Each structure stands twice: as structure tokens, then as C-alpha cells.
Amino acid sequence: MNTSEKYVVKFGGSSLASAEQFKKVCDIIKSDERRRYIVPSAPGKRCNDDTKVTDMLYACYDAVALHNKDATVEFEPIKKRFDGIIADLGLASVLSLDNEYEQICENFKQKAGSDYAASRGEYLNGIILAKYLDFEFIDAAKVIKFKSAKSNVGRVFDAELTNAALATMLSKKPYAVIPGFYGASPSGKIKTFSRGGSDFTGSIVARSVNANLYENWTDVSGFLAADPRIVDNPEIIRVITYRELRELSYMGATVLHEDAIFPVREANIPINIRNTNAPFERGTLIVHNSLDFEETSDTPIITGIAGKKDFSVISIDKDGMNNEIGFLRRILTLFEELDVNFEHIPTGIDTLCIVLESSELDKHESLPEQIRQVAGINHIVVESGLAMLAVVGRGMREKRGTAARIFAALAHNGINARIIDQGSSELNVIIGIVEDDFNKAIRSIYDIFFNTKP
């Protein structure tokens, strides 16, 4: 073990939901000295019908700040949750959060904001974890910087200032706990990232210390090659590139907060998704370039399959379209002016299809008519009720016959591919089908690549 190496290790809410989970987390951290910087979430659900502490905090804040309820009474269940963990970890004689609770209740009464309220889950959990591990606690408000609300619309994270503040602070601390999910603006006002944002904090910390690895511990053993609600026991993806991950996440496969990829990708730091409840499993390694890692002969051609429903397609026909300069620009300018987002534009010589989420079309029912006017087209057809599938795999580029296998599988199962789009990067094939075929299509493509020998 190279002990000069540094790992940043983030634990999700279910990994820190109870004292029992804290003990597993502590064993994981203490089993490898490289696990130096720990980013905890707030306690999550202990069972299906439990409530996450973050949700309890939002509700408590609303009750106190908006409905003038008694802060101490409303805060009691949250206090119980944290005190329960402290007692069960045997820390009650050395750690009391009573002063913190009092301060939080007071700030709720003073309407400190719902971001402040939500952030207290990570803050308090971080204090407990730091004590339990005997690591230093660093309040994220000191090192995770947001720009001031005045100069920017909404909450804007200040990446460069944060990176400098963290790098300076952590250069003096060999081991530390930095709570996830929040930071502060220059005036000291607490701000949070969007839900699930502790993943992003972990990634920011990893970049700042130039970590060798960012471990993200959760309650699944990695990314699955397909949605387990559709495919029985799908395989775990062993290695995936950042680009493949973006493609799959965009199409609905989620384990990681979508922003979490960017800081580490820039710094070329791999992310390892691991399971706190099954630490012996290797999980999924997310890398910049798979060539950095040994590809084995059993590396699958397809890395994963994901998909989303509720798409529409606008099909446009115009004779001589291929010779008409500016045709596409006029249509896309209209989309821009109306603030309509689209997903794909497969084209033919005299035809053009625009694939977009049906909700975008619902916002502008007159869109087809307006396209007809700006582009001088007679024939335009709108079809809704489509699903889009993304079949993603870096192995596709090198392997002949991948598309043939995908479409043979669909044809064999009586599924008509309505739209086909393959980027020149040959990283994915996008297929549009009718929504009723969604599950069947995913199962057939999964089967042909993962369960059938070529």
C-alpha cells in the first residue's frame, strides 16, 4: 500500500443512517490509510418507510419559519435521530450536540433559510463521524464557496475559489471529515447544492487534493448494465468511461449526482462506486479513458442500456431540402427563440426529424405550425408516445456487427425501430420505439449482448 496516496471517500445517507451503518463505515475507512478525506451525507432511510433527515429538516423548517410552530417541539424527532446514533456508538459521554441543537432552533426561528435548514443534516452527521473516527472536522461553510446571490442569478458555486480554499486547508490536514451538500456565500449565508449534492462535494474535494481515487460508497454494488426493474439481475458494470456514464445517466440511469463527474474528470481522477453493505465487491470504476486500464477479453461490447419515455418526433418533408442553404438554421432559430430544447435531429435528403421531450411540445402547441411558416414546408407530421433507448459501449467502435445484433434482436422480438441515430464517436446507438415496446426492447438487447454468445 502506497501511504502517500490520497483517497477521498464519500458515504451516502443510507451508509450513515444508523450506528450500525456508522460502524461499517468506520471499518472501511480504517482498513486503508489512503482513505483520508471523508465526505458524509445526512442520515438517510433505515428502512423503506423511514424518512431521510434532510426531508425532516425541510419539513421542520417550514413548520417553524412559515407556520410559527414551536421550534424545540418540531426539532425533537431530528434531535432523537442524532442522539440515538451518538448513544449507540457509545459516544454519549464524550459528545453532546445540545448547544448545536439550540443554535439551530434559534436560527430556524430567525428564518435562516431552507438551505441552512437542510445543510444541518450533513453538518451534525459530520461532527459525529469525525469524533467517532478521531479525525478533524472541517465545516464546509469555510471551504465550499458560493458566489454572492447579488452578482448572479440563483446559487452559483465558485469552483476556483473553493479549489484554492480547500487545497490550502487540506494541505495542513492529513485526515479530515468535510460534510457534503453545502457551502456558504461570501456573506456567510449557507447554500446547498441540489438534492444528492454530497456526491458533488466529494468530487470537488478530490480535485482539490489531487486525489488518486474518489470512492463513492452507497447501497448498491455499482452501476448496473440495465434497469433491474426491467431486466432480472443485470450485470454490474466493472469499468465505464466518463463519457459513457454521461450518456447512460442522461437517459435515466442514476447512481451519482450528474454534476459530480465534472471536477474529477477535469483532473483525471477515477471514481469508484462501492457498496457499504458489501465492501468486498469491487463496484464500478469510472475512468477518463478506458485505455488507462486493462481491458480484458471479457470486456463487454455494450457497457449498458438505458432509456426514457415521453418523447415526440416532428417529421418534416420538403423536396430539394438538401440544396436549400439555411433551412435547418431557420428551424433551429425558431427553437431558440421559443426556448424549446430538442434531443436529436436525424436527417435524410429531403427529410428531417426533430426528436424532443413531449413536455417541450406541450409548452408550445403551435410549434409545428410555426415551423411550417418559417421553413415553407407543406408536409409536417407530429408523432408522440415514443421512447428513446441508448445502447452505450466504447467497445462498439472496434467490433463489427454490433448494430446488426441490436436490430436483429429487436426484429426477432417484433419491435419496430422508428428512429435510429448513431453518433460518429460510435459510442452509442440511439433508437426510438413506441412506448409499449420499451421493456421488451431493453430486455431483448440486453439478452443478445449479455446472455447470448455471438
Residue of 198, 218, 275, 428 that binds ligand ASP (CB under 6 A):
198
Q: How far apart are CA 304 and CA 299, in angstroms?
A: 12
Q: How far apart are CA 76 and CA 53, in angstroms?
A: 12
Give the residue with the Cβ less far from ligand ASP, 180 or 307. 180
Give the residue with the Cβ less far from ligand ASP, 273 or 356. 273
Matching residue, cell 435524410:
348
52-91 footprint of ligand ASP as x/- string (CB under 6 A): x-x-------------------------------------
Give the residue with the Cβ less far from ligand ASP, 58 or 342. 58
Least separation, in Å, of the C-beta of 191 and ligand ASP?
13
Using DSSP, state whether 40 is helix, strand or coil: strand
Give the residue with the Cβ less far from ligand ASP, 179 or 432. 179
Least separation, in Å, of the C-beta of 194 and ligand ASP?
8
Give the residue with the Cβ less far from ligand ASP, 54 or 241. 54
Stretch binding ligand ASP (CB under 6 A), from 193-201, 222-230, 346-354, 383-391: 193-201
Residue 352 neighbours by CB under 8 Å, 6+ apart: 315, 316, 321, 328, 331, 345
Stretch binding ligand ASP (CB under 6 A), from 73-81, 190-198, 428-436, 439-447: 190-198
Give the residue with the Cβ less far from ligand ASP, 119 or 303. 119
300-329 footprint of ligand ASP as x/- string (CB under 6 A): ------------------------------
Contact call for residue 180 and ligand ASP (CB under 6 A): yes
HSE at residue 91, side-chain half, CA atoms within 13 A, is 20
Q: Are 208 and 183 in contact (CB under 8 A)?
A: no
Q: How far apart are CA 348 and CA 176, in angstroms?
A: 57
Contact call for residue 379 and ligand ASP (CB under 6 A): no
118-134 core/surface letters (b: 16 or more CB in 10 A; e: else): bbbbbbbbbbbbbbbbe
Least separation, in Å, of the C-beta of 115 and ligand ASP?
11
- Rounded to the nearest angstrom, the gap between the alpha carbon of residue 441 and the centroid of all alpha carbons in its chain is 25
Q: How far apart are CA 245 and CA 256, in angstroms?
A: 10
Q: What's the CA dihedral at 194, 105, 55, 216 to 10 degrees?
A: 60
Q: State the number of binding residues for ligand ASP (CB under 6 A).
A: 12
Residue 32: exposure state from Cβ atoms within 10 A (0-12, 13-18, ≥19): middle
**Three-point CA angle 445, 449, 452, nearest 5°:** 110
Contact call for residue 270 and ligand ASP (CB under 6 A): no
**Cα 39 to Cα 189, 277, 357, distances in angstroms:** 21, 18, 36
Contact call for residue 254 and ligand ASP (CB under 6 A): no
163-187 core/surface letters (b: 16 or more CB in 10 A; e: else): bebbeebbeeeebbbbbbbbbbbee
- Write out the E strands in 6-54: 7-11, 35-40
Residue of 126, 179, 183, 197 that binds ligand ASP (CB under 6 A):
197
Give the residue with the Cβ less far from ligand ASP, 127 or 354. 127
Least separation, in Å, of the C-beta of 131 and ligand ASP?
20
15-54 footprint of ligand ASP as x/- string (CB under 6 A): --------------------------xx---------x-x
Strands 136-137 and 35-40: unpaired
Using DSSP, state whether 125 is helix, strand or coil: helix
Least separation, in Å, of the C-beta of 45 and ligand ASP?
10
Q: How far apart are CA 452 and CA 302, in angstroms?
A: 13
**Phi/psi of residue 388, nearest 5 degrees:** -115, 135
Total residues belonging to the chain:
454
Q: Which residue is nearest to ligand ASP (CB)?
A: 198
Contact call for residue 191 and ligand ASP (CB under 6 A): no
Residue of 61, 146, 181, 446 that binds ligand ASP (CB under 6 A):
181
User: Cell numbers of 14, please?
Assistant: 443510507
Give the residue with the Cβ less far from ligand ASP, 202 or 393. 202
111-150 footprint of ligand ASP as x/- string (CB under 6 A): ----------x-----------------------------
Stretch binding ligand ASP (CB under 6 A), from 22-30, 134-142, 195-203, 308-316: 195-203
Contact call for residue 432 and ligand ASP (CB under 6 A): no
Give the residue with the Cβ less far from ligand ASP, 125 or 163. 125
Site of interaction with ligand ASP (CB under 6 A): 13, 41-42, 52, 54, 121, 180-181, 195-198
